[in-house]
């Protein structure tokens, strides 16, 4: 079965929409998805940005918030504009990276996205994250263990992988490993990524 | 018939793909397109950027060039990576803005895009632009007249309109005038813009 890596940041508004859509779309396309949490912050910081591009550029920011309203309606997804943006996503991302291959990870990830973009709640409280892990079917100590060595290094490795694949935004989709990685940026390109994987990966 | 404004910069690689696709897509959607040339340069300069974001961010640039290859193949369009990017598009944009409502304008615009992204040729030579106008069915003096008052002010007015509609990139699509403008950014959102216009504009 062809595999697509789905790269997301729990702080990213467009990642929320993609996370909610991707399993249905993948099933239709006959593709398997690997959920890959990473952090946009260090990638933005490396090019000198001190905040989200949506905060630094008022026109782009205004567009994004309106677009999210429209996209939520189009895909019949709940949506509330978060009162804090971007929220600190490092604690949740450490869980995502440390347990990337666990069967409960996608349900956990969707729960965190709902906290941020439906409940307008913080996503860096360990007890809330732990509740989300357990509700998704994961072990009771996962959230805490992911914040410490050796598991916390998984997020750094994921970010290194993201950079090696040319990522500069989220959500992104990749097919294959370097040097032959095909990168697709933005939720609008999800179907293109699946089609590419189906044609080129067997 | 519902109307969508199609905002493009002749220097913009993604605008090329959109320009080549839009008439077929509009016909299928039953929507009328107004071709609106404008300049991204002053909009980027106003936020402190001294070059195209694709040149300033190597990862984003590398992605864009690969993506253009894929999109050209997907839409069966000719494509050659230009040896100069972004090319000066002010002379061509003045023609586009001054003659925005002329029936020959879309054919002229496509010819200029082919010069830039298929022929890898300059798009600021007045004789080449004039040839493109005439080949599209326009008057022999249009290219020269558009560079002078009173016609040259049309481009400044178009850019003011673009800013008033919240534009920050190209291609973009707008439905309606401020304060109720709906903005869609990126060629991937063309169908969304058409659907919006069909539902909301009669």
Query: For residue range B35-74, what is the model confidence (pLDDT) as tens digits?
Result: 999 999 999 999 999 999 999 999 999 999 999 999 999 9
- Angstrom distances, CA of residue A163 to CA of A46, A98, A99, B65, B105: 11, 18, 20, 17, 42
Contact between residue A38 and residue A159 where contact means Cβ atoms under 8 Å apart:
yes
- pLDDT tens digits, chain A, 202 residues: what are they? 899 999 999 999 999 999 999 999 999 999 999 999 999 999 999 999 999 999 999 999 999 999 999 999 999 999 999 999 999 999 999 999 999 999 999 999 999 999 999 999 999 999 999 999 999 999 999 999 999 999 999 999 999 999 999 999 999 999 999 999 999 999 999 999 999 999 987 5
Closest by Cβ to B183, choosing from A63, A166, A185: A63
Contact between residue B78 and residue B118 where contact means Cβ atoms under 8 Å apart:
yes
Which 3 state secondary structure label does DSSP give B154? helix
ipTM reported for the complex, 2 dp: 0.95
For chain A, the residues whose C-beta falls within 8 A of a C-beta of chain B are 47, 57, 59-60, 62-63, 66-67, 70, 74, 163, 166-169, 182-186, 188-189, 192, 196
The residue whose two tokens read 């999210």 is A68
Q: How far apart are CA B30 and CA B11, in angstroms?
A: 28
Does the model's pTM come out above 0.90?
A: yes
Q: Which residues of B touch A168 (CB under 8 A)?
A: 57, 59-60, 63
Helix/strand/coil (H/E/C) assignment for every residue in chain A: CCEEEEEECCCCHHHHHHHHHHHHHHHHHCCEEEEEECCHHHHHHHCCCCCCHHHHCHHHHHHHHHHHHHHHHHCCCCCCCCCCCCCCCHHHHHHHHHCCCCCCHHHHHHHHHHHHHCCCCCCCCHHHHHHHHHHCCCCCCHHHHCCCCCCCHHHHHHHHHHHHCCCCCCCEEEECCCCCCEEEECHHHHHHHHHHHHHHCC
pLDDT digits (tens, 9 = 90+) for B106-127: 999 999 999 999 999 999 999 9
Q: Which residues of A touch B196 (CB under 8 A)?
A: 70
Contact between residue A19 and residue A77 where contact means Cβ atoms under 8 Å apart:
no
Contact between residue A93 and residue A10 where contact means Cβ atoms under 8 Å apart:
yes
Angle formed at CA B163 by CA B157 and CA B168, multiple of 5 degrees: 130
Q: Which residues partner with B4 through β-bridges?
A: B33
Percentage of residues of chain B with pLDDT beyond 70: 100
Q: CB distance A63–B192 less than 8 Å?
A: no
Contact between residue A188 and residue A21 where contact means Cβ atoms under 8 Å apart:
no
């Amino acid at each position: 079965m062809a595999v697509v890596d789905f790269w997301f940041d729990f702080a990213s508004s467009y990642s929320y929409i993609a996370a909610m859509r991707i399993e249905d779309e993948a099933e239709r396309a006959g593709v398997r998805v690997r959920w890959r949490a990473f952090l946009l912050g260090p990638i933005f910081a490396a090019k000198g940005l001190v905040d989200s591009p949506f905060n630094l550029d008022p026109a782009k920011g205004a567009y994004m918030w309106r677009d999210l309203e429209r996209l939520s309606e189009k895909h019949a997804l709940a949506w509330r504009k978060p009162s804090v943006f971007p929220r600190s996503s490092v604690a949740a991302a450490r869980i995502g990276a440390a347990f990337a291959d666990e069967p409960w990870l996608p349900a956990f990830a969707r729960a965190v996205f709902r906290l941020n973009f439906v409940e307008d709640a913080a996503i860096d409280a360990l007890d809330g994250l732990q509740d989300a892990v357990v509700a998704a079917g994961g072990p009771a100590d996962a959230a805490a263990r992911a914040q410490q060595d050796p598991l916390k290094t998984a997020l750094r490795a994921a970010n290194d992988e993201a950079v090696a694949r040319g990522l500069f935004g989220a959500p992104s989709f990749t097919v294959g490993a370097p040097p032959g990685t095909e990168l697709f940026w933005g939720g609008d390109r999800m179907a293109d990524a699946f089609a590419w994987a189906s044609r080129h990966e067997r």
